[in-house]
Chain A
Amino acid sequence: MTVDPDVAKACCVTSYSSDLVSLLLGESYHPGGLDLTRRLLTLLECTPGQRLLDVASGRGTTALMAAAEYGAQVEGLDLARANVALAAGAASARGLADRVRFRTGDAECLPFADASFDVVLCECALCTFPDKPTATRELARVVAPGGRVGITDITADRDRLPEELTSVAAWVACVADARPTAEYLDLLTDAGLVIRSSEDHRAAVERMVAQISARLDLLRMTSRARLEELGLDVDRARPVLEAARRAVEDGVVGYSLIVAEKPCA
């Protein structure tokens, strides 16, 4: 499948901040929820006072947790202005504005100097970046020697992906350009990082597919007309979700948590 990178990126941003997607995904945009984020932050050895960058910070849930539970000094970066505004509002509301800042920016061209952070993380977003080698190199560039880079992401065995999941619309679900775990490991290694650990969390994505199906069912029951107004054909969405469910069950699609380290000198 070929998709123009700019079209894909624009599509992704639009999707991720669109009403329809927030409607279907709810506030939690990545599989595994807070539990998996906590696991990631723990493996990243995030400790009080450390400088942390969250790339594709969405509405700021992870950034706020890193500040509140781990005491980190956090920068959150997201391509969508609406998300940045919402995240900043949430930080103020929680009294964390002095420890968490949000700004708009592109993961493929991070607006930070080299070696600015002790910890850099990117949850369920690398799969949507069209130029993955550049994005990964950027993660590696801004982390300080001895610092850690963590990603959680959808994995996909692209040769076995069912047809329903390879259309542009499916970019929304992060699947169409997701890679096998080995390829993520290579990306990180090629960017000069050393892999520390890699974990399989396929149950998290299984649950997320179930959650999307459930929200769709609920909306079908309560506001079908409005859904269709937003351009979602309920009857066409269902086979896509069913295909996603089967793909997870068959191991074609999964979810990985990877932690890497930038070597000292």
Chain B
Amino acid sequence: MTQDRDEVFVEMTRSICPVCKEVIDGEVNIRHDQVFLRKRCAEHGEFEARVYGDAQMYVESMRFNKPGTLPLRTQTEVSEGCPKDCGLCPEHKQHACLGIIEVNTGCNLDCPICFADSGSPRENGPDGYSITLEQCATMLDAFVAAEGEPEVVMFSGGEPTIHPHVLGMIDLAQERPIRAVNLNTNGIRLASDRRFVAELGRRNRPGRPVNVYLQFDGLEAQTHLAIRGRDLRETKQRALDNCAEAGLTVTLVAAIEKDVNEHEIGAIVRHGLGHPAVRSIAFQPVTHSGRHVEFDPLTRLTNSDVLHAIAAQLPQWFRADDFFPVPCCFPTCRSITYLITQGHPDDPDFGLVPIPRLLQVEDHLDYVSNRVVPDHDIREALEKLWSASAFIGTATNDERLTQVAAALDCADACGVNLPEAVTAITDIAFMIVVQDFQDPYTLNVRQLKKCCVEEITPDGRLIPFCAYNSVGYREEVREQMSGVAVAPVVPNAHQLQPILAATPYGSKRSSS
């Protein structure tokens, strides 16, 4: 008797072996309404990972796929093929919406979870690196050469605030035609060094905003201990308060790990809505690159899980379909919603309206079936808002929000001038982003080719973030910069335990 397969085969792609990083074929299948990527390495066997928790959403998101834009300049040639030629190579499908500069590998924390494998110097001596101001200038110049007027650069690490020249680096960015700066930090220095916060505040000015991208995984001590190794609740609160005082806007950035802090997603949103400094929240299912706790790739969290958790934990405010895929990158990588809010969530009169409920976003951002765009200006505005370069408080974001608010108007016949009523939209708008970065298990070349979040390397390449963390580029750069050999990192997955050995940084490598 014949038997049916228990899955629907939807696409063929390329990926890498999570152990040896060789490029191998991969296939995407839908099983039990979820999406899985499966691949086989001739030497290391078969691997499978859950890449999207809601098959329906996955399939429907495909139409939110915008044609890419060519960068002004690429940095490499095509020779071995994706993902070995980063980058960017001329075959990359998208320019860089966001450039990341990691200024160091050192950190004032040693978190159990860190895709960058950062931390305090290990027993075997100093083996990390810090970039110099000159190197930073070269990296920024490479970004400007590729993009002309980049929307936003993010300083990261390591922990960038412990780099002695981080303020000088922000100055270098602001001297260039880069519209906005983001500082990615754990907040320890922001909590204790108010002079430093004031210096950041001084640099945060109209047309040249500085936004703080604050690691914030939850409100429970358990969550902090599991993900950061220390209870940082008071530190985070002080950092937030100091930012508010200095007029800095903050994005709360939550790494979400299965069975650790999934249940805190709603509480994080509520906390953000209630703090004056917070204007956006970014949820990131934990990337199983670098250092992380042992995990099962078949049950890992994905974007749709976070979206459903937001709707389930805050049903009074959200539905999963308040979020829309971001069309500039591959649409399954990132989803965003914007809210118009008023008051504090604890007030009885608190108001919250997701902007996608006010207009049919898909009428504008559907690039497959729409041959007639209802309104080009609105599409353009929504494209900028639903983008990896979208950060609250940038001039571009303000402009586009205002434009969308104008689109909510009901023609001249209407008695209320809605745009006027929401003139203050740029002050009351709030953004929630959900971004699932790829790791050696989930890497799919189809997505990677359109990645628009780039790591800028000291030698002036722009490497897609997920390639940087999965394929071996991070190890290569660290080795070059530190002069110490760095072993290729292998994910700390259940099935790989027998072949794993520890690296000096806390991540795992292959023992063979």
Contact = CB atoms under 8 A, between A and B. Distances in A.
B374 A214 contact: no
Interface of A: 17, 19-20, 22-23, 26-28, 33-35, 38, 59, 61, 64-65, 68-69, 82, 86, 207, 210-211, 213-215, 217-223, 226-227, 229-230
18 contacts: A19-B415, A22-B411, A23-B414, A23-B415, A26-B359, A34-B360, A35-B363, A35-B366, A38-B369, A207-B321, A214-B353, A214-B358, A217-B351, A217-B352, A219-B416, A220-B351, A221-B342, A223-B418
Given A219-B416, A221-B342, A210 B411 contact: no
Contacts of A28: 360
Interface string B336-358: 00001010000000011110011
A227 B417 CA distance: 11
B370 A34 contact: yes
A132 B390 CA distance: 50
Interface in B201-223: none
B382 to A, nearest CB: 14
Given A19-B416, A226-B415, 15 more contacts: A17-B413, A19-B410, A22-B410, A23-B414, A23-B415, A26-B408, A27-B410, A34-B360, A59-B411, A61-B374, A213-B357, A217-B353, A218-B408, A220-B351, A223-B418
A33 B371 CA distance: 15
B101 to A, nearest CB: 39
Contacts of B414: 19, 22-23
Contacts of B354: 214
B358 A215 contact: yes
Given A34-B363, A82-B413, A211-B358, A222 B418 contact: yes
B416 A223 contact: yes
B481 interface: no
B362 A35 contact: yes
Measured as residues with beta carbon below 8 angstroms from the partner, the interface class of chain B is: 20 to 34
B422 A218 contact: yes
A218 B363 contact: no
B57 to A, nearest CB: 13
Nearest to B357: A214
Interface string B402-445: 00000010110111101001100000000000000000000000
B372 interface: yes
Best-buried of A23, A213, A220 by chain B (most CB within 10 Å): A23
A210 B351 CA distance: 15
A35 B370 CA distance: 9
Best-buried of B374, B410, B414 by chain A (most CB within 10 Å): B410
B319 interface: yes
Contacts of A82: 413
A86 B411 contact: yes
Contact of A20 (B321, B342, B415, B421): B415
Contacts of B352: 217
Contacts of B321: 207
Contacts of A33: 360, 362-363
A237 B351 CA distance: 16
Nearest to B408: A26
B372 A69 contact: yes
A90 to B, nearest CB: 10
Contacts of B370: 34
Nearest to B341: A221
B357 A210 contact: yes
Nearest to A219: B416
Interface string B308-321: 00000000000101
Contacts of A34: 360, 363, 370, 374
A223 B421 contact: yes
B416 A65 contact: no
A65 B370 CA distance: 10
A228 B62 CA distance: 43
Contact of A23 (B369, B372, B410, B422): B410
A177 B410 CA distance: 26
B311 to A, nearest CB: 12
B371 A69 contact: yes
Best-buried of B351, B352, B360 by chain A (most CB within 10 Å): B360
A28 B262 CA distance: 37
